[in-house]
Chain A
Amino acid sequence: MTGLEQGAIYALVALGYTLVYGVLRLINFAHSEVFMIGTFTTMWVWGWMGIDQNTKIDSVGQMVMLIVIGLVAGAAASAVTAVTVEVVAYRPLRRRNAPPLAFLITAIGASLFLAEMIGIFTKRAPFGPPRIIEPAVAFAIGPFKVTNTQILVLLVALLMMAALDQFVNRSRMGKGIRAVAQDPDTAALMGINKNRIILLVFVLGGAMAGVAALLWNVRYGFTKFNVGFLIGLKAFSAAVLGGIGNLRGALLGGLLLGVVENYASGLFGGEWKDFTGFVLLVILLMFRPTGLLGESLGRARA
């Protein structure tokens, strides 16, 4: 269960990598910082509302309200960050037809810039967002205990992913995203404004990372300027694991990675957690270089 919970957060962040990659063939390294800024924003917003670590949340109504506010604030802040990176860093490069390497180094630069900016601003201190939900076992199926936060995290994550999946597959804009991913030139001949689609992709990916950030705060109650680094790396691995450019692959990869990591840390001890995750990635890519479900936003059905 802990694995699924963690995996769901990886999967939400992984969607951002996969969406941007599907449309731009670009690995947006700054996405991990998009997540990080989401964790800080939700915490700050709660702070402004006078909620800190010592506040006791006693009514369910207040709890739900805080979660919804945190979700909206986190998603909005992350989306704005993602869009800013696109407009300030990537778009000028595209206009000049820059080679892929220039994009890659820009992405890394944007990532470092954002992490350091928040680092300086927060004096590199670790922060503990308030505990909105006191973890408690909600019910147990045999030996598996399911906590209330686990239910919340999984529920919200799966809901967001189902909504995104429907949006991309059914809506007009979603079709636009798939068209640009599959053939950008022909998409332009259909009257699709590529830059607008790219912007939309950053908004969606950013918002998903923001939701992940809220769930992270609720579950772990910890953030720091470099919190995005490892999560970003794991989420990126999850995206590759499932097949980058493939939305459902991101979900599968995220959940699988989370479960395997937790299983391994139960088996060998916590310090082996990150190790097993990446070993899994390497082994899987040896046998299926395009990931579990293959690259799909571009080729087959998204």
Chain B
Amino acid sequence: MLLEIKDLTLEYGRIEALHGISLEVEQGEIVALIGANGAGKTTTMRAISGLRPVAKGSIVFDGQDITKLRADKRVILGVGQSPEGRGVFPGMSVMENLEIGAYTRRDKAGIAEDLERCFALFPRLLERRKQAGGTLSGGEQQMLAVGRALMTRPKLLLLDEPSMGLAPMLIQQIFEIITEINSQGTTVLVVEQNAQQALSRAHRAYVLETGSIVKSGTGQELLNDPSVKDAYLGVA
């Protein structure tokens, strides 16, 4: 088990945002977490990456309890995240944004290798490598955010709403690349509102509703589940 979350509870002030959720991610999987706005998807992500303190429960990553570990140390252990809203550093060039993904690494050869892999996945970034992050289009920023997360050489890649604000064509493309990244050996946990794409790409998925997990299963099972269809897929 690469990631094991047990009974995770999280509060914003006195309001409970997550009510004891549990989920697991196996080595090599793509796992999707779907749900509506405000269901707690991003909160879950921020708890895993360490940006939000946890009230109760535990997060175990790669056999190590990281519940109380500082965010930057989790990156060193192998948790890489592309955050919600992309979080591209606007004043830095594409190249600098990617380099900062490798901030904690010292292996020059490995970094060069990952940079190459990144440009192979996203040729667009190579064209724009000297341009400031803030001047990229939404789709390019998303590519940059994913590429930058890969530069941390993560064991687990966390993707928070990779399709947000993108045109349907680009959404398709981003998910193809996610599948590609996964086939190259990186485990992926993706949070999405676009359930159709997420479920058809994921090995397994969880459905989050107002801070609790209400359903789980393989991607296919959930795609065919009548209540999921009704609520998230827009078909009756």
Question: When A176-B103, A300-B90 are in contact, do A189 and B134 touch as well, CB less than 8 Å?
Answer: no
A interface footprint on B123-137 (CB within 8 Å = 1, 0 otherwise): 000000000101000
A192 to B92, CA, bound (A): 16
Q: Any chain B CB within 8 A of the CB of A186?
A: yes
- Stretch in contact with the other chain, from A177-185, A262-270, A279-287: A177-185
Q: Any chain B CB within 8 A of the CB of A193?
A: yes
Question: When A175-B96, A190-B101 are in contact, do A302 and B87 touch as well, CB less than 8 Å?
Answer: no
| Cβ-defined contact, A182 with B90, below 8 A | yes
- A300 partner residues in chain B, CB cutoff 8 A: 90-91, 132, 134
Quick one: closest A residue to B51, CB to CB? A185
- A187 partner residues in chain B, CB cutoff 8 A: 100
A172 to B100, CA, bound (A): 8
Contacts across chains A and B counted by CB atoms under 8 Å: 79
Question: When A190-B152, A194-B72 are in contact, do A175 and B100 touch as well, CB less than 8 Å?
Answer: yes
- A175 partner residues in chain B, CB cutoff 8 A: 92, 96, 99-100, 103
Q: Any chain B CB within 8 A of the CB of A96?
A: no
- A150 partner residues in chain B, CB cutoff 8 A: none
Q: Any chain B CB within 8 A of the CB of A298?
A: yes
Q: Report A158-199 residues with CB < 8 Å from chain B CB.
A: 172, 175-176, 178-179, 182-183, 185-194
B interface footprint on A290-302 (CB within 8 Å = 1, 0 otherwise): 0000001111111
| Cβ-defined contact, B49 with A189, below 8 A | yes
Q: Any chain A CB within 8 A of the CB of B147?
A: no
Quick one: closest B residue to A183, CB to CB? B87
| Cβ-defined contact, B89 with A186, below 8 A | yes
Question: When A175-B99, A175-B100 are in contact, do A191 and B87 touch as well, CB less than 8 Å?
Answer: no
A296 to B80, CA, bound (A): 28
| Cβ-defined contact, A178 with B89, below 8 A | yes
| Cβ-defined contact, A192 with B87, below 8 A | no
| Cβ-defined contact, B90 with A190, below 8 A | no
| Residue among A175, A190, A297, A302 with max Cβ neighbours from chain B (10 Å) | A190
A190 to B80, CA, bound (A): 8
Q: Any chain A CB within 8 A of the CB of B148?
A: yes
A298 to B134, CA, bound (A): 12
A96 to chain B, nearest CB (A): 13
| Cβ-defined contact, A299 with B71, below 8 A | no
A17 to chain B, nearest CB (A): 19
Question: When A189-B51, A191-B104 are in contact, do A299 and B99 touch as well, CB less than 8 Å?
Answer: no
A interface footprint on B49-77 (CB within 8 Å = 1, 0 otherwise): 11100000000000000000011110110
B94 to chain A, nearest CB (A): 13
| Cβ-defined contact, B96 with A189, below 8 A | no
Quick one: closest B residue to A172, CB to CB? B103
Quick one: closest A residue to B96, CB to CB? A175
Quick one: closest A residue to B93, CB to CB? A301
- A298 partner residues in chain B, CB cutoff 8 A: 91
Q: Any chain A CB within 8 A of the CB of B211?
A: no
A175 to B96, CA, bound (A): 8
| Cβ-defined contact, A188 with B71, below 8 A | yes
Quick one: closest A residue to B92, CB to CB? A178
Q: Any chain A CB within 8 A of the CB of B83?
A: yes
Quick one: closest A residue to B52, CB to CB? A185
Q: Any chain A CB within 8 A of the CB of B9?
A: no
- B100 partner residues in chain A, CB cutoff 8 A: 175-176, 179, 187, 190, 192
Quick one: closest B residue to A301, CB to CB? B91
Nearest first, the 7 closest Cβ-Cβ pairs linking A and B are A191-B75, A186-B87, A191-B104, A188-B71, A182-B89, A189-B81, A191-B72
| A residues neighboring B (CB under 8 Å) | 172, 175-176, 178-179, 182-183, 185-194, 296-302
| B residues neighboring A (CB under 8 Å) | 49-51, 70-73, 75-76, 80-81, 83, 87, 89-92, 96, 99-101, 103-104, 132, 134, 148-149, 152
28 A-B residue pairs with CB within 8 Å: A175-B92, A175-B99, A175-B100, A176-B100, A178-B89, A178-B91, A179-B103, A182-B89, A182-B90, A185-B87, A186-B87, A188-B51, A189-B49, A189-B51, A189-B71, A189-B80, A190-B75, A190-B100, A190-B148, A190-B152, A191-B72, A191-B103, A192-B100, A192-B103, A300-B132, A301-B92, A301-B132, A302-B91
